[in-house]
Amino acid sequence: MAEIIVVTSGKGGVGKTTTSASLACGLARHGKKVAVIDFDVGLRNLDLIMGCERRVVYDFVNVIHGEASLKQALIKDKRFDTLHVLAASQTRDKDALAKEGVEKVLKELADEGFDYIVCDSPAGIEKGAFLAMYFADQAIVVVNPEVSSVRDSDRILGLLASKTRKAENGERVKEFLLLTRYSPGRVENGEMLSITDVEEVLGLKTIGVIPESGDVLNASNKGEPVILDMESNAGQAYDDAVARLMGEERPMRFTQAEKKGFFSKLFGG
């Protein structure tokens, strides 16, 4: 059975697509067969971050409407044989997605032997976001450590608990917290919520803490998910998160502010 993971958030711009791309690459690196789907109809960014935008011929909406087969629309990643991307349409609106069509595509992917299907959700609570989460087994809730992001994510948790297929069957979607743009120094200065603060408000267990890093933007601009840059702290943090998702125990890194040495304190460094 394919495990369906939705990457979601209440607020836009928190790093969902970066997370979806890194998650998909990380799972494929572990030898899993993975499909990652862009549910953000009308915008379409996943293919850019995955570096396959020039290879998009057919998209998710084409498959749903029977204008192309799933095999025609799936783009095979050039780095991992077991990873495939299903791009969103740039020319349709959100109403182009329908529950029955989404279910058909997900079932077909499961029948093709995919281990994981990662659903990159649009922000907020409109139709695309609802359909991205409806069939999920697991949810990665992406949050920046700031009050507005946390509050908006609380609304998403309400939907996961009430508006999914699992909820309708009296079950729960397995929810995890992923904190992005985390700066331990700013947390120490009281400018940013701590991991504990966010966990307490949302009642979620943290699966990963991605430090604030310019490497994320650089990787996105190059069409290389940041998890592939194992020199970067952000890449290593995403790798840790994927390992935890697969049941491995790993210590949480990049969560403490660097202690200043004697000379830097003396000279104000």
Please report where in the chains the tokens 């290593």 appear, as a residue.
236
pLDDT value at residue 261: 60
DSSP string, 122-147: PSSSSHHHHHHHHT-SEEEEEE-SSH
254 dihedral zone (left: phi>0; alpha: psi -120 to 50; beta) = left
pLDDT at 96: 83
Angle at 199 between CA 45 and CA 12, to 5 degrees: 20
Q: Tens digit of pLDDT per residue, the chain (269 long)?
A: 899 999 999 888 999 999 999 999 999 999 999 999 999 998 889 999 999 999 999 999 999 999 999 999 999 999 999 999 999 998 877 678 999 999 999 999 999 999 999 999 998 888 899 999 999 999 999 999 999 999 999 999 999 999 999 999 999 999 999 999 999 999 999 999 999 999 999 999 999 999 999 999 999 999 999 999 999 999 999 999 999 999 999 999 999 987 666 555 556 55
pLDDT of 93 reads 74
Distance in angstroms (rounded) separating the CA atoms of residues 79 and 71? 19
Q: What is the pLDDT of residue 229?
A: 96
| Residue 92: per-residue pLDDT | 79
Q: How many helices (H) and strands (E) does the chain have?
A: 13, 8
What is the C-alpha to C-alpha distance for residues 23 and 32, in angstroms, rounded to an integer? 11
